[in-house]
């Protein structure tokens, strides 16, 4: 036992360790205890203020706005001159009021956004100069879309609605876990998050080959938000899904959800480029997307990761009724499939995100052995090389948005799997894009 100042310094060091580990509650506890022992040391207060700031930011990012607001108020009280903290506090208050309003007007079993949508008689915009879309998607139409979006043009609203409705008809018939075998002469490319980075998506198709019946693709969630070409990505992926329904697959990610879309840009982008109804129809379609894909009975591909209970099996995923609960919520199998992350330590631990959990190599090993798998493939996190193989080769993360948000300097990656079920990794750099910043359509407090 040292002097009060020495004991306080030791608590501060523990707080610093917790801060580095992003364990904000523990950091706040250590800094507060240090202050109680020695209330004259300024660094204790500044460190605690930073912990409040970081916890507020973390809660804001995972949409826990009431918890975030409490911390923003503390930050503003301790640092009244911090204009950014005051702005984020105000924005948090606005979002809480908006969410309360939306909840108040929420109607159970509300009619579909497609109800009353008269596609047949909907007129094309006068400036639309592309090919006509009939009752089936064509490669000509897809190729025109690609060029149209590259040149900053939009798709006719009639055709955008038509594409979403066609894909809804396809995916609602798919199981919660799609099962795909790679036939001789074919391969499948697994891609991670693309997050509205349209020009990097086109580079993926350049490097991996364009989708076809023999050149299958699986996009493992988080197609939208953050990047400012999310509508272009969503419409192009959907067009390919319509064109190649049996060889082009889409898993749902945690950003194919209403709350995330409201905060991180997709809703705002739909409104700016098309209509609010377009967003509502996309939202309905997102809730129909499969949650996982099993490739060759060897690779379980899902956006987030594994479960809080070792008893969960692939059969539980097969039986999961994804239509019963449109949004993943804060608990349950769907939430865990969209939000969890791997950790290096064995066992399970709290999530640094504040949602879901973290799972260790022993958890992955048991799941793979219990289900006869070689590995799980997941996305959900930036990796500096675009991918990472961990948990003794049984947990693979792939992330396909290089230089994420124009700021991370990471590479992107994708994985090719052929009929021999060997994994072939390709890394790639970001490509130039028009001068539109990420998060251009996001909620004000996150720009």
Contact of 347 with 374, CB cutoff 8 Å? no
Please identify, among 59, 90, 105, the residue that sits at the C-terminal boundary of a domain: 105
CATH number at residue 319: 3.60.21.10
| Domain count along the chain | 2
Place of tokens 């792939």: 398
Q: Are 277 and 369 in a shared domain? A: yes
Is residue 117 in a domain?
Answer: no
Contact of 43 with 12, CB cutoff 8 Å? yes
Contact of 88 with 445, CB cutoff 8 Å? yes
Q: What is the pLDDT of residue 24?
A: 72
Q: Are 150 and 273 in a shared domain? A: yes
Q: What is the pLDDT of residue 61?
A: 67
Q: Are 210 and 306 in a shared domain? A: yes
Q: Are 69 and 213 in a shared domain? A: no
Q: Are 212 and 307 in a shared domain? A: yes
Q: What ranges make up the beta strands (E) of 232-281?
A: 248-251
Is residue 234 in a domain?
Answer: yes
Nearest to 426 by CA among 399, 392, 394, 395: 399
Q: What is the pLDDT of residue 77?
A: 81
Is residue 116 in a domain?
Answer: no
Rounded-to-integer distance, Cα 275 and Cα 279, Å: 7
pLDDT in tens, the chain (447 residues): 567 778 888 888 888 888 887 777 788 888 888 888 888 887 887 788 788 777 877 777 666 777 878 888 888 887 788 888 888 788 777 777 766 766 665 556 677 888 888 888 899 999 999 999 999 999 999 999 999 999 999 999 999 999 999 999 999 999 999 999 999 999 999 999 999 999 999 999 999 999 999 999 999 999 999 999 999 999 999 999 999 999 999 999 999 999 899 989 999 999 999 999 999 999 999 999 999 999 999 999 999 999 999 999 999 999 999 998 888 877 899 999 999 999 999 999 988 887 889 999 999 999 999 999 999 999 999 999 999 999 999 999 999 999 999 999 999 999 999 999 999 999 999 999 999 999 999 875 444
Residue 325: exposure state from Cβ atoms within 10 A (0-12, 13-18, ≥19): middle
Q: Are 242 and 390 in a shared domain? A: yes
Inter-helix orientation angle 266-273/276-286, to 10°:
140
162 lies in which domain range? 139-446
Is residue 203 in a domain?
Answer: yes
Look at the alpha carbons of 202, 203, 205, 209 in this order and tell me if their dihedral is positive or negative: positive
Q: Are 284 and 189 in a shared domain? A: yes
Q: Which residues touch 329 (CB under 8 Å, ≥6 apart)?
A: 335
CA triplet 31, 34, 37: central angle to 5 degrees? 155
Structure tokens at 230: 């999310």
The backbone torsions φ and ψ at residue 386, rounded to the nearest 5 degrees and listed phi first, read 85, -20
Is residue 24 in a domain?
Answer: yes
In the sheet with 375-378, reading across from the earlier edge strand, the strands are 177-180, 292-295, 299-302, 375-378, 395-398, 387-390
Please identify, among 105, 128, 155, the residue that sits at the C-terminal boundary of a domain: 105
Structure tokens at 405: 């948000």
Q: Are 295 and 403 in a shared domain? A: yes
**Residue 348 forms beta bridges with which residues?**
359
Q: Which residues touch 344 (CB under 8 Å, ≥6 apart)?
A: 360, 361, 390
Is residue 150 in a domain?
Answer: yes
Q: What ranges make up the beta strands (E) of 159-314?
A: 177-180, 187-191, 215-220, 248-251, 292-295, 299-302
Nearest to 154 by CA among 252, 39, 274: 274
Q: Are 335 and 408 in a shared domain? A: yes
The backbone torsions φ and ψ at residue 383, rounded to the nearest 5 degrees and listed phi first, read -125, 130
Rounded-to-integer distance, Cα 410 and Cα 269, Å: 25
Contact of 16 with 26, CB cutoff 8 Å? no
Q: What is the pLDDT of residue 107?
A: 54
Model confidence, pTM:
0.82
Is residue 316 in a domain?
Answer: yes
Nearest to 12 by CA among 36, 58, 47: 47
Please identify, among 105, 131, 149, the residue that sits at the C-terminal boundary of a domain: 105
Contact of 425 with 387, CB cutoff 8 Å? yes
Please list the active-site residues: 255
DSSP 111: P
Q: What is the pLDDT of residue 445?
A: 43
Residue 405: exposure state from Cβ atoms within 10 A (0-12, 13-18, ≥19): middle
The backbone torsions φ and ψ at residue 146, rounded to the nearest 5 degrees and listed phi first, read -60, -50
Buried b / exposed e over 1-12, threshold 16 CB at 10 Å, is eeeeeeebbebb
Q: What is the pLDDT of residue 97?
A: 74
Quickly count: other Cβ atoms within 10 Å of residue 329's Cβ: 11
Q: Are 78 and 177 in a shared domain? A: no
Rounded-to-integer distance, Cα 380 and Cα 120, Å: 39
Is residue 129 in a domain?
Answer: no
Quickly count: other Cβ atoms within 10 Å of residue 421's Cβ: 14
Distance of CA 380 to the CA centre of its chain: 6
Distances (CA, A) of 412 to 146, 200, 405: 20, 9, 12
Contact of 322 with 291, CB cutoff 8 Å? yes
CATH number at residue 98: 1.25.40.10
Q: Are 150 and 67 in a shared domain? A: no
Q: Are 76 and 169 in a shared domain? A: no
Nearest to 395 by CA among 350, 359, 426: 359
Q: Where are the alpha helices (DSSP H) in 112-152?
A: 139-150
Structure tokens at 314: 């692939």
Rounded-to-integer distance, Cα 425 and Cα 399, Å: 11
Q: Which residues touch 315 (CB under 8 Å, ≥6 apart)?
A: none
Q: What is the pLDDT of residue 109?
A: 63
């Amino acid at each position: 036992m040292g002097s009060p100042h020495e004991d306080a310094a030791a608590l501060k060091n523990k707080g610093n360790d917790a801060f580095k580990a992003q364990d904000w509650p523990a950091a706040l506890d250590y800094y507060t205890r240090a202050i109680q022992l020695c209330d004259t040391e300024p660094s204790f207060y500044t460190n605690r203020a930073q912990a409040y700031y970081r916890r507020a930011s973390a809660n804001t990012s995972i949409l826990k706005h009431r918890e975030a607001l409490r911390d923003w108020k503390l930050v503003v009280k301790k640092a009244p001159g911090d204009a950014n903290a005051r702005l984020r506090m105000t924005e948090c208050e606005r979002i809480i009021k908006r969410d309360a309003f939306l909840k108040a007007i929420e109607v159970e079993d509300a009619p579909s956004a497609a109800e009353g949508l008269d596609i047949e008689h909907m007129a094309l915009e006068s400036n639309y100069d592309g090919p006509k879309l009939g009752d089936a998607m064509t490669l000509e139409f897809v190729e025109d879309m690609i060029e149209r979006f590259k040149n900053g043009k939009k798709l006719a609203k009639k055709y955008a609605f038509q594409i979403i409705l066609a894909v809804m008809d396809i995916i609602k018939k798919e199981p919660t876990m799609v099962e795909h075998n790679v036939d001789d002469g074919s391969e499948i490319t697994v891609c991670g998050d693309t997050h509205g980075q349209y020009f990097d998506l086109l580079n993926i198709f350049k490097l991996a080959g364009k989708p076809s019946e023999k050149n299958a693709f699986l996009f493992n969630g988080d197609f939208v938000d953050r990047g400012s070409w999310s509508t272009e990505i969503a419409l192009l992926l959907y067009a390919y899904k319509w064109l190649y329904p049996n060889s082009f697959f889409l898993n749902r990610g945690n950003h194919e959800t209403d709350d995330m879309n409201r905060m991180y840009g997709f809703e705002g982008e739909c409104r700016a480029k098309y209509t609010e109804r377009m967003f509502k129809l996309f939202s309905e379609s997102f809730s129909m997307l499969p949650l996982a894909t099993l490739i060759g009975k060897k690779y379980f591909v899902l956006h987030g990761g594994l479960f809080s209970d070792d008893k969960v099996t692939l059969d539980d995923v097969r039986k999961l009724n994804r239509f019963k609960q449109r949004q993943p919520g804060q608990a349950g199998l769907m939430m865990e499939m969209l939000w969890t992350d791997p950790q290096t330590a064995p066992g399970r631990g709290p999530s640094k995100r504040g949602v879901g959990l973290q799972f260790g190599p022993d958890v992955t090993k048991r799941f793979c052995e219990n289900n006869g798998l070689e590995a799980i493939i997941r996305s959900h996190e930036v990796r500096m090389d675009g991918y990472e193989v961990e948990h003794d080769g049984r947990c693979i993360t792939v992330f396909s948005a290089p230089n994420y948000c124009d700021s991370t300097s990471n590479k992107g990656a994708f994985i090719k799997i052929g009929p021999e079920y060997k994994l072939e990794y390709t890394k790639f750099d970001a490509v130039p894009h028009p001068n539109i910043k990420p998060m251009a359509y996001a909620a004000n407090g996150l720009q």
